[in-house]
Structure 1
């Protein structure tokens, strides 16, 4: 019984072996495609490493920003006065309180920003020190118009306010004056006073306030000047604190990024290596915020990317995004390399073992790890040149040995060089990545179809049988 079963199994195996030729180019191509898919697994693992290293950069930025003052938003001078109102004359003890807020008629801000790089581990993060001088012209009429009819202004609590996101970044006393008279500024918080009303308006930044004396006797426009020195990291923004606001900002940083709700009217970025200067102007109609109001939320002035004039001090684009983008095409590039080896095999009559394909695939995966490691230390472009040269060199030498001919090593050198040039394009040209990848894939398939037009995909045995 056992001998009979063995005989049946042997005949079945023999039929299967006859059906699958030993030197079938078609089966080898299917095997190569399967190996290319399998070799994307190491690339996926490297993707996790890229994510971890990128998270490390984010942590370093957060730590440095915390000590430097973070991404600062500045609120220019604003004047407020609380008021009380008796809605029911029969209840004189029942008072309703509010805060009248007046913005300047016109305002200018001039800022000189010195940027330096602070190292945290292997990362360098831009931090800045900004001197900001602001001037504003106020109209007492606008403030009085914000007070409701029959309400009583509480002039003793009239205040001048300025604000920043993080007061830890303020490095010197805030200097403020009205028509040349100094105003003492101190940190304030929004809380009820002993009489049951707020002196401080709602704001999205931390405020410093100074008491204004004699405001009730003023009937003509007056000038306010405020100077502050503060530090921060990455981003600096100034809100349009006046009906018509102009900001002039200069810095030693050569590669800024303009963000926020308003872009500069003019700048000279790229015209000099010494830094740049930019100018914003936000007119009243563009600002879209009333010049005075009651219980106004000052957060509307400094809210990110709404009305602010902002700039980011960025380094060269992070390599992590470029590497992550290239890893998304890893299967395609590994397939290109395997396809090149398969074409060498088909045209040279020399066979390459699947293990040799695996070794070549691992070399392609390790390329991304080399690129990641070097780019963190020497910059992306130099890192790519080093990693690509190492990978192209080893795969080309390996091709010369596998196919027993120097010409295949030289061909591999040219093909691999073209593949890695394409990888560089995909990493750098984000908007053109899909088009470049699609065209390269089509060209690779078209070339393969042409070079294999005379290949017997069934194999030598099948060809003999059909003959």
Structure 2
């Protein structure tokens, strides 16, 4: 290979490496803008309410137990009995738990950033099956029971939009702030009438809960059998947690989903027992399912993914530029390569800035269109041919189209990228199959190599 060609290829390689500097700066700017957006969304949630998790209801029965201890007098060696008192609580999960909720979403804007809040209007109902003697197998007469209460864990009680009243066996009882249970966290509770405890009792309960939150709504399926139905006006739900919906319908107008679990699948009784024994209740509180209301079109994520293809994109564009140069025996200065490369780098800056105001799709179209028009205009003069410049611009537009396809097809991005590179390599090899590489850069025409099979 002659020195001119070596110098040209070396200069192109150095230009590509040099263009990595502005690209890395733009990538850092993407991360900075994304962090600023996240801070604004967190601030909006701080001013309203964070994501919500509903844990409960649980039936709690405080008790005092008489404890008899036999001791021996050291002097007389006679045994005597002392009585003490032990305090504790009995916990009961619902036999049946149902939630029927209607969710509406709204946007809260601060500057150019928007946070999506939800308002869940839910009807919660079910039944507690309190066993005979409250499930105590010891001497029942040693127990004295205090006022029971119902506790409902709500991760951010600022989201409660109206007062709550419990309907219990025909009675209406108002809720009070706080769960009275440190391990359950924030929430509400309601005091219940005293339980006789000598015989089994069924407690039918129901209450309405209007809850506001940001981002996610999750529930702990506390019932021996739990049924949850949610309907919302959000057409892009992301179902999260340990259990997917048994049924779901998604349309442009919203979604409807239903879950059904049992103690066999959740094992919540054992999780609650371990929680009370160890005072580590993450296992109990993390057995959740729910839905996320996050917007799937994240312009920062897509811009970050786009810039990861920048090096490949610039290399392919320079390869096309170089192909025109050697096939048409034109002299293109490295400065002209550099200007084209800078225009390609500006595409990502335009994409980032426009997508914050117009959405990613329209921003991509405008940014790509502007770069194709500018580079096409410039290349027409560099190659001294309108047809060659338009052909180069058409090829560049096709590359932008393929890049958008790669960004949109997350599951098939690797396959599409591999086929694209293989196809471009094939085109390059076909177009240069007769090129005399020894003559390139020596001022000679690009002579054809002899055909295979001919002397």
Structure 1 stretch 365-374 or stretch 32-41: which is displaced more? 32-41
Q: CA deviation at 1:282?
A: 0.8
Task: Report the count of equivalent residues.
Answer: 429
Q: Deviations over 1:199-221 (max 9, x none)?
A: x3621x31311211131256331
CA–CA separation in structure 1 for the residues paired with 2:186 and 2:376: 62
Q: Offset at 1:379?
A: 1.1
5+ residue gaps, structure 2, are: 71-80, 446-455
Structure 1 gap segments, 5+ residues each: 1-18, 191-199
User: TM-score, length-normalised on structure 2?
Assistant: 0.87
Match of 2:89 among 88, 93, 99: 99
Partner Cα distance (1:92, 1:408) in 2: 105
1:32-111 maps to which residues of 2 (within 5 A)? 32-85=12-65, 89-90=69-70, 92=82, 94-111=84-101
Q: Do the aligned residues in 2 keep the contact of 1:107 with 1:244 (CA within 8 Å)?
A: yes
Find the counterpart in structure 1 of residue 261 from structure 2: 282
With over 3 angstroms needed to count, the CA separation of the structure-2 counterparts of 1:448 and 1:181, relative to structure 1, is same
Structure 1 residues 197-255: Cα deviation after superposition (integer angstroms, max 9, x where no partner): xxx3621x313112111312563312011222121111011211211000111112222
Q: Distance in 2 between matches of 1:378 and 1:92?
A: 79
1:97 positional shift? 2.9
User: How many angstroms apart in 2 are the aligned matches of 1:411 and 1:142?
Assistant: 86
What is residue 349 of structure 1 aligned with on the other side? 329
Q: Give the alignment's Cα RMSD to 1 decimal.
A: 2.5
- Cα distance in 2 for residues equivalent to 1:92 and 1:396: 98
Out of 290, 294, 309, the residue aligned to residue 329 of structure 1 is 309
Aligned residue among 260, 272, 288 for 2:241: 260
Identify the range of structure 1 (238-247 vs 60-69) with the bigger mean alpha-carbon deviation: 60-69
Does structure 2 conserve the Cα–Cα contact (< 8 Å) formed by 1:238 and 1:302?
A: no
> Larger relative contact order (C-alpha < 8 A, sep ≥ 6)?
1
Q: In the TM superposition, what are the counterparts of 1:145-184 in structure 2 within 5 Å?
A: 145=135, 147=136, 149-150=138-139, 152-184=142-174
**Is the Cα–Cα contact under 8 Å of residues 230 and 256 in structure 2 kept in the other structure?**
yes
2:330 pairs with 1:340? no
Corresponding residue SS for 1:69: coil
Deviation digits for residues 93-113 of structure 1 (CA, Å, limit 9, x no counterpart): 544432211011111111111
Query: Counterpart in 2 of 1:235?
Result: 216
Provide the residue aligned with 1:187 in structure 2. 177
- Deviation of 1:116 after TM superposition, in Å, equals 0.7
CA 1:460/1:139 → structure 2, altered by over 3 Å: closer, same or farther?
closer
| Residue 142 to residue 150, structure 1, CA distance change in 2 (3 Å) | closer
- Aligned-pair CA distance for 1:168: 0.8
Change in CA separation of 1:210 and 1:26 when aligned onto 2, cut-off 3 Å = same
Equivalent position of 1:115 in the other structure: 105
SS at match of 2:427: helix
- 8 A Cα contact 1:177 1:226, kept in partner: yes
1:25–1:458 Cα contact (<8 Å) kept? no
How far residue 326 of structure 1 moved from its aligned partner, in angstroms, is: 1.7
Question: Which residue is equivalent to 1:424?
Answer: 404
